[in-house]
A and B are shown apart, each in its own frame.
Chain A
């Protein structure tokens, strides 16, 4: 594993000088807001690293059982089937806990240039299949195999392995839940790839936690994160549309609905706005604009939670409906971003690209 590229060269987008006059001085509310965002991010990044370390240990234990049978999966299942089934249930629960801790802060982590690369490595980057947004790291597996730019750790590597949607990592189909039939995802997986991915998660989440610890959030950070991440909502609905929750064939987003992630990310944006930006608008006397933006965030999150509630209630959505929801949420997000950017210009805020 090599170190995260630390040289970030942000393009600084300065607002016109003529609009700088109204920049309000930092208030106690803003300072407290920024501190609370930092505390929130640190709390969840610490929990993320803790969960990831536990996940690594659980996968290592699973790998140990398989190794004790010299890699003979049938023999391992025959001898320790109940233990393996429980281990896989625990691993999956642990993976979800790890992932959900990340989603809680993704709206902040991915929106800040100083931490955006962690988002690519952990959750959103591609394995070099595109020119941009590559998860730029290498991974060494326990057996010594070197993987160059293998894709993001959550959705390209670990999730498809642990839920059996990566056929190359399926080692033996077994009746995990003991219901007499082998359904989707009931299998023993490749411990080498799973452990490598889990070790990667443990490493990079710990690194992220250290970054967050040294982070002193600024007004620029708050505005940048909100205007960067809020408009990505339409993309997430697109991933939801591609997922198996809507009849797609994607290997990723099978562990839980992508809508859970959307809610987590947008809650992060809302938190950043309400804690750190809203006080700036209040100090500048822009309470009307503040109310409109707050209301729009509420609308957007209501849309996400209502859709998720309908999905949980068993409603099935067509791809076209997913597109319509994406368009509706995107429209709200675009309005929020335009208003936040107008405020940013008035308050001498630099948006980092």
Chain B
């Protein structure tokens, strides 16, 4: 039989088969449930206020003054967003690590919450202006429409978790130049997976899970420093403060890194802060080994050791805002303890002190003390600069052990102290210092000293007048002290006396001969 004859012979059956397939596909399309639309239109959440108006192009700005965006152009449904505890079913190690982190409690720990409440009291739109804070601290609150004077959206677990799993693993865009939370999050992907036919049954359709949380755009973004920079660069301007436009950068952690040797050498935020052993990682880099760690940790080790301090007992979990979903006392203590240990070790890798010069003359003893940034890929200190500060404690004793000079180490805080200090000061419109982080009242920002850049140093001179009856050799004790918050912040906003002790980043002891050498 020739080929054409064969075709003619089978044509009818082929056509029938094709029609059957088409019919099957059509029926399939009809019976397959159409995924329910996800999210809620911006104008469909009752009583949601938009006091800041549209942008220059006329588009609504539901999350302003946070620069965060929702990929879906609508609010997410909090009830459909998976709690990080859900992720723990398969990603146990990551969850346990994250549960001790500051990211986990960023939106719920008591110091933040009390400070947010204090800011919300400022001005008529304070309750909406805190969207500025919530973007980075609690995306689950912001993107579900809960940051509002009258919150008509039901509370949900995702808002308890601060920077949760989905806060990062749905990110599709970051703009570190803008900062102030300039991330675009595709929470709709999480909702789509949750509402798909397989629901939470991941094994029924792993591709849906991958599409939700492992999409190529997200995976690529999560490896970059730019992703972190969207929140770790912060500018105060007229949108959320009294600082005139174009504003002033009050947190520039990412910008500091971008200009540094670390960025030039491909060392990202994740290289150190997500290393399984961050202190060891920094020491390797200091020794010239620039390789990234083979695995990552979700502890996001930084500088806040106080909110991991298990010595606080039950108070710790209360300060952290209570137990997160999926975390009990045993896990909470275990993971906070590990976080504390790593944080302390990490902080000890950041700085160094050197006595560069000591000279004695008729006017007294003259010292030059070098404060070095040895291990931080950003300025030292960095971050919330009106609260997190660094100061030098210098103590000089004579041969008899008598203290003849002391500067720094002021437990009462910076007010009225003349210590050498690296910090920002927020000031109000009357020029008064705002010690309790009331961002919305801030009219200007000034620095006692700017942070020390990566691999940089600052030499601090001391001219110490010596009493007539003193004699060397002298003993010099220097500590570079770091504090997480001004005492006034805790007292003013939290109405509690919580000790915020100094942490010694570096120490130096030297003996100076009677001739000053």
Contacts and interface: CB of A to CB of B under 8 A. Distances in A.
Contact of B47 (A133, A335, A341): A341
A131 B319 CA distance: 29
Interface stretch (B151-159, B254-262, B445-453): B151-159
B315 A320 contact: yes
A323 B155 contact: no
A220 interface: no
Nearest to A14: B47
A324 interface: yes
Contacts of B46: 15-16, 19, 341-342, 344-345
A131 B150 contact: no
B139 interface: no
A342 B46 CA distance: 7
Contact of B121 (A13, A130, A238, A341): A130
Nearest to B122: A131
A338 B123 contact: no
A155 interface: no
B43 interface: yes
B149 interface: yes
A16 B44 contact: yes
Contacts of B315: 318, 320
Contact of B314 (A13, A15, A16, A320): A320
Given A130-B121, A335-B155, A345-B47, A13 B150 contact: yes
Interface string B38-68: 0000011011010000000000000000000
Interface residues of B, number: 25
Contacts of A19: 46
Contacts of A334: 151, 155
Given A132-B123, A339-B154, A15 B322 contact: no
B47 A15 contact: yes
B495 A338 contact: no
Contacts of B496: 241, 319-320, 323
Contact of B495 (A241, A335, A342): A241
Contacts of A22: none
A274 interface: no
Interface string B301-322: 0000000000000110011011
Nearest to A15: B46
Given A13-B47, A238-B495, A338 B155 contact: yes
A254 B465 CA distance: 52
A338 B46 CA distance: 10
B110 interface: yes
A345 B152 CA distance: 9
A241 B493 CA distance: 13
B151 A337 contact: yes
Contact of A320 (B121, B123, B152, B318): B318
Nearest to A13: B47
A338 B78 CA distance: 13
Contact of B152 (A323, A331, A338, A353): A338
Interface string A213-251: 000000000000001000000000010011000001000
B150 A324 contact: no
Best-surrounded residue of A133, A227, A327, A341 (most CB of chain B within 10 A):
A341
Given A319-B496, A324-B318, A132 B152 contact: no
A341 B322 CA distance: 27
A351 B150 contact: yes
A13 B110 CA distance: 31
A19 B45 CA distance: 11
Contact of A323 (B49, B151, B318): B318
Nearest to B43: A16
A238 B114 CA distance: 10
B157 to A, nearest CB: 11
B122 A132 contact: yes
B222 to A, nearest CB: 32
Contacts of B47: 13, 15, 341, 344-345, 351
Interface string B476-503: 0000000000000000000110000000
A337 B319 contact: no
A20 to B, nearest CB: 11
A327 B319 CA distance: 11
A331 B321 CA distance: 12
Best-surrounded residue of B110, B319, B496 (most CB of chain A within 10 A):
B496
Contacts of B319: 320
A335 B159 CA distance: 13
Contact of A331 (B121, B150, B155): B155
B43 A323 contact: no
A346 to B, nearest CB: 8
A13 B154 contact: no
B152 A13 contact: no
Contacts of A339: 154
Nearest to A321: B318
A342 B44 CA distance: 11
Closest 4 pairs (CB-CB, A-B): A345-B46, A341-B152, A320-B318, A338-B154
Interface of A: 13, 15-16, 19, 130-133, 227, 238, 241-242, 248, 318-321, 323-324, 327, 331, 334-335, 337-339, 341-342, 344-345, 351, 353
Given A132-B122, A327-B322, 15 more contacts: A13-B49, A16-B46, A130-B121, A132-B124, A227-B150, A242-B495, A248-B495, A320-B496, A324-B318, A331-B155, A334-B155, A338-B153, A338-B155, A351-B47, A353-B150
Interface of B: 43-44, 46-47, 49, 110, 121-124, 149-155, 314-315, 318-319, 321-322, 495-496
23 contacts: A13-B47, A13-B150, A15-B47, A19-B46, A130-B121, A131-B122, A132-B123, A132-B124, A133-B121, A241-B496, A242-B495, A323-B110, A323-B318, A334-B151, A335-B154, A337-B150, A337-B151, A338-B153, A344-B152, A345-B46, A345-B47, A345-B152, A351-B47
